[in-house]
Chain A
Amino acid sequence: MNEGRFSPRFSFLVFLSLVSMTLLAACGDNTATTAITAAGSAATAGSAATTAAGSAATTAAAGSATTAAAAGNLSGEIKVGALVTLTGNNSPFGIAIKNGYDLAVSEINESKFLGGATIKLVALDDKGDKQEGISVMSKLLDQEKVVSVLGPTLSSTALAADPLAQKAGVPVLATSNTANGITQMGDFIFRNSLPEAGVIPGTIAAVKAKLNPKKAAIMFESTNEFTKSAADVFKAELEKNSIQITGTEAYSKGDADFRTQLNKLKAASPDILIVSGLIGEAVPIVQQAREVGFTQPIIGGNGFNTPTIYKDGKEAAEGIIVGSAWFLGSTNPKSQAFVAAFKKKFNTDPDQFAAQAYDGAYLMATAIKNAGAANSKAIRDALAQIKNYEGVLGTFSFDANRDPVHQPVTVIVKGGKFELFQ
């Protein structure tokens, strides 16, 4: 009865069915967890609302550079959607971003920034997943009927989900997307996060000026649009500065053992190591780089712009250099007021993503105010007009392509915090 159960064909069949079952199981994970995490985020949103009361402090920081228009016409509750990554490896970004939105929205409502109207932020978890992003975006557009959307957290999600909003004529303001091709999706897509091409040239120039490296190695995640496009910008900038690239190695989302790639890169003895990755993998990469004996300076992409890098990376993170849109020690008074309010409300330091999110929510509120109506098209037009807005990021404008214009900085991890690299 047992004879022949393991014929060649059977082995193949089992193998094929197992592979498909595993894929099926992987997809299933996402859907099955929706209920739990949705409930979870609703709970945190609730508690955020209750803690909001005490922090009406820095409302004066609001946008003043724009012509205060017919805000008096606004009334009731205006629904603004937000797509944030609250679960998964990249949740440190999404949590910081949601905190930034929450702080700004509570200030906006407390200070009657919109006159008689208030903003209701409908923040949903996209799990850092393209499919999930699409379904959550549809929910915001079709069920919640939001007038505009903030987010999503990751560029890859934005590239999948934003076309829905473009089609529906609902403006999207990305506060953390830095990949190429975001605003090219259409005239309703804006971002206040500097694209890689706006930050990396300054970073490489600063590194070249101070460290004068001759050879560089690059490690990047090949399964994400942002990390790929950042790696390309790094390559182009290295060539421009005549720094030789001795090796380029890729890894995939969720990988955990990077020793082999690092070992290979190390063999060519580069002067610097460039890592274009997201935070989930960035910490183990940095730690394993130190373990395999990489003592050279590490230059991180935008994914390194969070305190998680030095909180989790500890000694291994010391000396990491990152190009940033903003940094904690900024002397801009708006920024200092924001840092104080953020610390008071969330008991932790804000990072670049929280700062961009906070400014983004204010930009959106300013556009709603200037539009004078809870109308998506009018809000889009008002957003496009914003020039010289004084915010946490400094003096901010949108260019003709709805991309941000403001001055980036280069920071270095020293003694467990970001300092200006100078």
Chain B
Amino acid sequence: MVDASLLTNPVYFLQNLVDGLARGAVYAVFALGFTLIFGVLDIVNLAHAATYMWCAFAGWVVMAVLNMPLVVGLLAAMLFGGLIAVILEFIAFRPLRQEGAERLAPMISSIGVSIIMVSLAEAQFSSQTKKFPSEVLDPKPLYLGGTDGVRVSWAQLLIVVVSIVLMVALGYLIRRTRTGKAIRAVAYSQRAARLLGINVNRVVVVTFFIGGVLAGAAGILVGLLTNNINPNIGADIELRGLAVVILGGLGNIEGAVVGGLCLGLVETFSIAYFDRGSDYKDAIAFLILFLILLIRPNGLFGRQEANRA
């Protein structure tokens, strides 16, 4: 079933490790925003993938149309993501929260917003694929250990570096800053936080902003990795993002990171080492997810108490 010569090839293994980690890093960044909003606000924001898609376009406009450098494109996409998420909070979530709506209502509301956002993108950009000019990021890869060695593209390198920076920054923000403390308080109980004098609405806006920034980063990074931006790219990552969030434990930040990397590696290795693995990669990945949930129903890092974010 598995090709023996591939099993014993160390370069092939390392290559897949690199590709799998880069793939997983993107899932992780996407899932972080998802899980943060869920963990703090108990809202499943299904417009997260649409935000991600719009940010990929924002980055494309900045870099390919306005010819700005990569750093500007990255920052612009992240900022744009934050803004979209904040707008969503004001139009799609806050009104529902104030009316004390059903638990599922915000999710339905986010589905609606998501459909509108995808339609707007189709109207604005047409559904033809957009690509970055090669000046943005050198398409020639780096080789570790000669041209027969392990190949790392600049996009992959960028993804891993940016992902690590964002994960560390988020961890620091949540655990070490005043804002983080407020976010954790709101996550524990909005009522208790309000009684302690925390401006809950402000914290919610900040949380949405951070979630949007992460969606924006994931969008532009995937855009660079695949060089393929169209209004439907959100659909592909959305299900995987949800799977990662659940795999890691709902609302758990370390869990989202580990879950994302796991899914990326499992997908890559199932293609690489199973005969016809590319036919079954999603089936294999989701089967593993299912088995993990059977053994650890709260996800890899899930805890019984709600002290999550």
Residues of chain A whose beta carbon lies under 8 Å from any beta carbon of chain B = 1-9, 11-12, 14-15, 18-19, 21-22, 24-26, 28-29, 32-33, 36-37, 40, 87-89, 91-92, 222, 248-252, 254-257, 259-261, 263-264, 267-268, 280, 283-284, 287, 291-293, 312, 314
Contact = CB atoms under 8 A, between A and B. Distances in A.
B306 A40 contact: no
Interface centre among B44, B271, B282, B299 (most CB of A within 10 A): B271
Given A11-B302, A92-B128, A312-B131, A292 B151 contact: yes
Nearest to A263: B15
B111 A32 contact: no
Contact of A254 (B20, B128, B235, B278): B235
A188 B147 CA distance: 56
B305 A22 contact: no
Interface residues of B, number: 68
Contact of A260 (B222, B242, B243, B268): B268
A6 B114 CA distance: 26
B226 A284 contact: yes
Interface of B: 3, 5-6, 9, 12, 15-16, 19-20, 23, 44, 46, 107, 111, 114-116, 118-119, 122-123, 126-129, 131, 134, 139-141, 147, 151, 153, 188-189, 222, 225-228, 230, 232-233, 235-236, 238-239, 242-243, 246, 250, 267-268, 271-272, 276, 278-279, 282, 293, 297-299, 302-306
A11 B250 contact: yes
B127 A3 contact: no
23 contacts: A2-B305, A6-B306, A8-B297, A9-B297, A11-B246, A11-B298, A12-B293, A15-B243, A15-B246, A15-B293, A21-B107, A22-B235, A22-B242, A28-B111, A89-B129, A250-B276, A254-B232, A254-B236, A257-B23, A280-B230, A283-B228, A287-B139, A291-B141
Given A2-B188, A28-B115, A87 B46 contact: no
B238 A22 contact: yes
Contacts of B16: 260, 263
B118 to A, nearest CB: 5
Contacts of B268: 260
Given A15-B242, A26-B235, A89 B111 contact: no
Contacts of A291: 139-141, 151, 153
Given A29-B235, A36-B119, A314-B134, A91 B126 contact: yes
Contacts of A26: 235
Contacts of A248: 276
Given A21-B107, A32-B115, A91 B128 contact: yes
A22 B239 contact: yes
Given A260-B278, A263-B16, 15 more contacts: A6-B303, A11-B297, A11-B298, A12-B293, A18-B246, A19-B242, A22-B46, A29-B118, A29-B119, A87-B126, A256-B236, A260-B19, A260-B268, A267-B5, A291-B139
B272 A280 contact: no
**Main SS of chain B's interface residues?**
helix
A3 B282 CA distance: 34
B232 A14 contact: no
B230 to A, nearest CB: 6
Nearest to B229: A256
B305 A3 contact: yes
B111 to A, nearest CB: 5
Given A8-B298, A314-B134, A24 B111 contact: yes
Nearest to B11: A267
A284 B130 CA distance: 11
A36 B124 CA distance: 11
Contacts of B304: 3-4, 6
A89 B122 CA distance: 11
A314 B3 CA distance: 34
Contacts of B139: 287, 291
